[in-house]
Each structure stands twice: as C-alpha cells, then as structure tokens.
Structure 1
Amino acid sequence: MIKLEHVKKLYKAKQGNIVAVDDVNVEIQQGEIFGVIGYSGAGKSSLIRLLNQLEKPTSGTVTIAGRVISSIRGKELRLARQEIGMIFQHFNLLWSRTVRENIAFPLEIAGVSKEERLKRVDELVKLVGLEGREDAYPSELSGGQKQRVGIARALANNPKVLLCDEATSALDPETTDSILELLLTINKSLGLTIVLITHEMHVIQKICHRVAVMEKGKIVELGNVLNVFRHPKQDITKRFVQQLTGEEGTEESLEQFAKKYPGGCIVKLTFVGEKAEQPLVTHLIRHFQVDVSILQGKISPTAQGAYGTLVIHLVGAQAEIEKATTYIRNQEVELEVITNE
C-alpha cells in the first residue's frame, strides 16, 4: 500500500544541511495501523509530511497504492492528495465555519454537488459521534469534539490512507482513549490504512499493529507491536517500553531489595495473551516449597493481545526454586533471572 525506498530529506540551514529523514526504507500494508514513534527532532513529522507530499524528498521514492507520489506534480498531485486524509495535533479547523461546513469544505474544493455534500456530511457526523453538534462552531466544542470534526473532514473524500500527526497530543488521557477507539473503529469498518506518529507509547500500544522507532532521522527498530514490547533491542525503544510498563528505575530498586533481603532468586516473568490472566503465583505457592513475594507487575493491553510483566522474589531451597522456574517456563512464560543468591 505504502512504500518508502531510500527516502532522505535534507533542510538547508546557515550552519549546513540538516538531515531530517535519513535513508528510510519501509512498507505499510493495506488496512494496517502503522505507528511511528520518536522524541522531538527524530524526524517523524517530516516523514509523515513526505507521505502526502507536503514535503518533497531530497532523494528516494514514495509510492502509495501503486503510484509514485514523489514524482508527480500539479493537478495529478492534487487529485492524489484527495486519497490521503490528514488530521493534526491542533485540529486546524476553520473557526468561522460550523461543524457541518468544516466537514464539507474538502468536498466543496473537489467540486461535489451540494446534495451529495449534505448526504456525505450527515454520514460522517454520525460516524464520528457528533449528532446534534452540526451547527456548532469550533469555539463551542471540546478538544475531543474538535478532533472528531478533524477526523470527519479527513474522511470526506473517502481516502485510502489516513495520516495522524500527533493527533492526541493536545488531549487529556480519557479523551485520547476515546479518539483512539474511534480510529480503531474506522480502521475496522472502512479497512482504512492509518499511519500515526506520536511520542507516546500508550498510543502505539492501544491501536497499532506495527511500529517504527525513529531516532536522528533513521528507523532504528521496526516490528510487530507485541514483539517490540517483549524484546526491545535499541536503548531508545527500551526507554519507551519502560515508560509504559512502569519499569523505569526497576534495576536499581531491585538491587537495593536484594541487598536488604539477601537469599533467594529474583525473576522477571513476561506473559502474552491469555497467559497474562493465569493464576501463576497461586500455582507456585500450592505446588512448590517456595515463598513468593511480588515486587512489581503490570498488564498492558495491545492491539494483538495482553502483554504482562511480573517481577517476583522466590525464597526456598535451591532445588525447589529450580523446580518452580522450570514449571514457569513450561507454562510458555518467558523468565529472566535478575538476581540469584
């Protein structure tokens, strides 16, 4: 559906060229929710703007639905952009227009008849949950409602791709979740390909199928969201995952615990899917001569299923601890020994 090949974007500056996107190669499948995450300056905003050609690549090609969009100009490009919707962090609504008029605006530009515009706007108002607010102005709407208008407007021309540029960064957590649920519904009901950039791992975790981690203009890690959660390779990816799983500072605190309570074994367990819901600790206590202390634990839902981590302290005879850890591994639970004294 979307293919970037050796894409590079340079910006000229007094101090020399700035490399915003550096030799990016990635393919995004039809109907996929693809996340791009990185800190400020990573190049993710430049990358998403290359997809609708608000920015032209310095080199490389961008292909969408079989069309090399990076090589077209003029009317052909304007028509191609109608197949690519975009929603923004700060909504970018027309403040002098009502909800209905904002949603209809792309249809006016495309030359759609008034009758067809009204019909399409009504469909979109219902889709995004804004019934009864059609005649309100942006100043009369909450942040979440404004973003729903932005989403409806982006869908007006029945695009094949929806680009989300930090679409939830200006919203509170509860509203963020409601907007993410709406995007998930749109993806499932319309089969729409969604590319979403963010600096929040919660957003990736909630709805994305795959994620690309960007740093200094490069994609440094790419994969299925659940796999990236389970086995982050790069330091930057580990920091994002730790922020979400609550594991920041874990290593230091566990070292302090081990010094205060010497003996036994501290292990980290990783659960995926239904395994995250099994009463593993209860089984350990009932079947093995070990004492079990829970030091830390959390379950995080992802688009591919639940992902859970649990750090426990096992105390008992070495033979019993070995039996317990063998049992854990036989339950298809990943086990990492952190300390063993």
Structure 2
Amino acid sequence: MISIKGLSKVFKTNSDTITAVDRLDLDIQDGDIFGVIGYSGAGKSTFVRLLNRLEEPSEGNITIGEKEITALNTNELRLARQEIGMIFQHFNLLWSRTVKDNIAFPLEIAGIPKVERENRVQELINLVGLSGRENAYPSQLSGGQKQRVGIARALANNPRVLLCDEATSALDPETTDSILDLLVDINEKLGLTIIMITHEMHVIRKICKQVAVMENGKIVEQGDVLDVFLNPKQTVTKKFVEQVMGNGTEDDLEQLLETYNQGNVVRLHFVGESANQALISQLAKRYHVELNILQGKITQTQRGAYGTLIVQITGETDEIDKARQFIADETSVEVEVIRNVT
C-alpha cells in the first residue's frame, strides 16, 4: 500500500511563497489504478513528483510498501526508484537511441548483464505492442508508439508502482484509448499499482477504480469512481463529471421545461446493472402513459455503468403515479421529479 501523510510542498521565491501541495493525506491500495484529477495549477504534477522525490517534500511522509521514501538517503533512494516507474506527457525519450536502446537504458544503469538485458527488452517490446519497431528512432514513431516506448522503459526494472503524469494529454482520442487499454492490460498482467495524473475525466472513467480530485494543492473529494460520478459534491468535481456526461446547464433544463410543458418531467439515474434495463419500453407496455426522452447519456466506468435520462411522462395523473411508483419499487433506477406540470 502507498500511504501519504501530511504531505506538503512549498516553493519560495524572492517575492512570494507558493504552496503547491497542502498537507495531503492519501492511501492507495496495492494493484489499484488510482486517478488524481485537477485543473492546471491544482498541484497534481507536483504531487506525483513528490512520490519518487523528484521534488523534495517540505514536510510529510510517503511510505510505499514497507519503505518510507521520505526517510531514505541518496543511495537508498536510488535503489527504491527502481521500483517506481514513471511515464511523462512528452515521452522524454533519448532521440539518439533506438526503441530497444531507450528501453534498455535503465537496465544499463542498473548494471544488468547484456544477455539478460536483451531478453528483458524483447519481452517488453512484445508486451507494449512494438514488435518490428525495435530499431526505429523516436523521430520515426507516432505519438502513441513513443508513449509505448516510454511505458516499456518505465517497466524495465519490474517496478511495483507506475506513475503516469498526463501520459495521454499529447495524444489524439483514438491513440489515448489504445494507451489506456494497454495500461489496464499491464495492471492485470503484472499486478502493479498505477497512479494516473490527469485533467481529463475520460481517462478516470475509462480505467481508474478510485479517484481523488485536487484543487489548490488539496484533495477536495475522493472515492470510488462510480460513487464520485453519482454524487459529485464539489463544484470542481461536477465540472469534471460534465466533461464526460455532457450534462446540460440549468438554462438548458429550463428551456426543456418550457418546451415540454405537460405531464411530469423526471430525471432517471441509472447505476450498474440498471443501465441495461429496458425501462422505457416496460413503462409504455404496463401503463397508459407516453414517454419522451428529452436528454441523457449512459457511460461506462471500471465499476459499472452510470447515466441519466430526463424523461417527460404524460397521461392521466393516476397512471403517471403508478409508473413512477413502479420505478421506485421494482427497479434499482432512482427517480428525481424535476417538475410536475400537470
């Protein structure tokens, strides 16, 4: 487990003091894919660089497994970093080296014998899907291929933890998805802990199990990804959820209510298996009501599906009440009455 207690980083200039990370507490379970999301300036990149002491903490403790990283001397830290891989937004490859030589670089530093090194490099090339590109130089690779080299290099010393600092921000959406799929595959095959630093909720939704939201150097919200999608509490979290769900604004909702001014307008919240229920057709068959889907979206997370539909239900009052009661009593879909305009 990764345990972080009271972690702070303060930068001092001639005229100012900036607290980039502010007394942060966090526990991350072994084998988890843990997301840390925040807008630019939230402190998330500083936070991830503190984990392997690329930045020195101003105060606080970091423990990875049984090692207190913040208590290690220079030689101990150098060895401990072999168990902490890191990939970057802009790849940080050595442009004068080929794919295989880039991947071999940390093994050379660790003093691994040549034959063992070559076997390990080929194993990693196969793992990240770069077979046939071993002798290419970074300038001959696409962005996605460069990041695959970065991932293979980060895995060279069999780390227990993989830190990903905005690893997909420089990539197009299709390539981003392929890299995220690769990280999930690596997590499942190798069982290592992955910490994803990002400003994109799509990344969190697609691969993370737990998420922490950072703002002004603090964690302002944390929990299971599906729970955070369902009940975002902070304004910043709601904005991130809207990135994926595309929820309309209050003005959009008011316009819907003005346009569809009969019957009930309800918001249906689907979670997990309920997202697969043919609820709308069931209601239409069971009750003398008409249903009109006004707005909505269903999306998948690692913990299950989540989504909302805004639906207009028209008909006799008692039939509308029966339909709503059926949803409440017989399904796991949550019903929120936005307006009763009968």
TM-score normalized by structure 1? 0.98
Deviations 1:237-266 (A, max 9, x none): 1111012101042x2222112123323211
Please say which of residues 36-45 and 324-333 is displaced more in the overlay: 324-333
Distance 1:169 1:245 in 2: 20
Indicate the SS of the match to 1:256.
Answer: helix
Alignment of 1:295-306 (within 5 A): 295-306=294-305
After TM superposition, the runs of 4+ consecutive aligned structure 1 residues lying more than 6 A away are none
Distance 2:275 2:129 in 1: 34
Q: CA deviation at 1:308?
A: 2.1
Indicate the SS of the match to 2:19.
Answer: strand
Please say which of residues 254-263 and 146-155 is displaced more in the overlay: 254-263
The structure-2 alpha-carbon separation of the partners of 1:339 and 1:14, relative to structure 1 and needing over 3 Å to count, comes to farther
Distance 1:85 1:282 in 2: 50
Indicate the SS of the match to 1:82.
Answer: helix
Distance 2:24 2:10 in 1: 13
Distance 1:260 1:111 in 2: 71
Alignment correspondent of 2:308 = 309
Distance 1:254 1:83 in 2: 50
Distance 2:286 2:15 in 1: 67
Indicate the SS of the match to 1:126.
Answer: helix
Please say which of residues 171-180 and 261-270 is displaced more in the overlay: 261-270
Tell me, yes or no, if structure 1 residue 206 matches structure 2 residue 206.
Answer: yes
Distance 2:50 2:296 in 1: 40
Distance 1:92 1:186 in 2: 21
Identity %: 62
TM-score normalized by structure 2? 0.98
Q: CA deviation at 1:274?
A: 2.1
Alignment correspondent of 1:37 = 37
Residue 100 of structure 2 contacts residue 121 of structure 2 at CA under 8 Å; is this kept in 1?
A: yes
Residue 86 of structure 2 contacts residue 154 of structure 2 at CA under 8 Å; is this kept in 1?
A: yes
Distance 1:65 1:118 in 2: 29
Q: CA deviation at 1:49?
A: 0.4
Q: CA deviation at 1:148?
A: 0.2
Q: What amino acid does structure 2 have at the position aligned with 1:271?
A: F
Indicate the SS of the match to 1:284.
Answer: helix
Distance 2:226 2:69 in 1: 31
Distance 1:28 1:247 in 2: 30
Alignment of 1:188-207 (within 5 A): 188-207=188-207
Alignment correspondent of 2:147 = 147
Distance 2:307 2:8 in 1: 37
Alignment correspondent of 2:78 = 78
Alignment correspondent of 2:105 = 105
Unmatched 5+ residue regions in structure 1?
Answer: none
Alignment correspondent of 1:288 = 287
Q: CA deviation at 1:314?
A: 1.0
Count, aligned residues: 340
Tell me, yes or no, if structure 1 residue 323 matches structure 2 residue 322.
Answer: yes
The structure-2 alpha-carbon separation of the partners of 1:290 and 1:223, relative to structure 1 and needing over 3 Å to count, comes to same
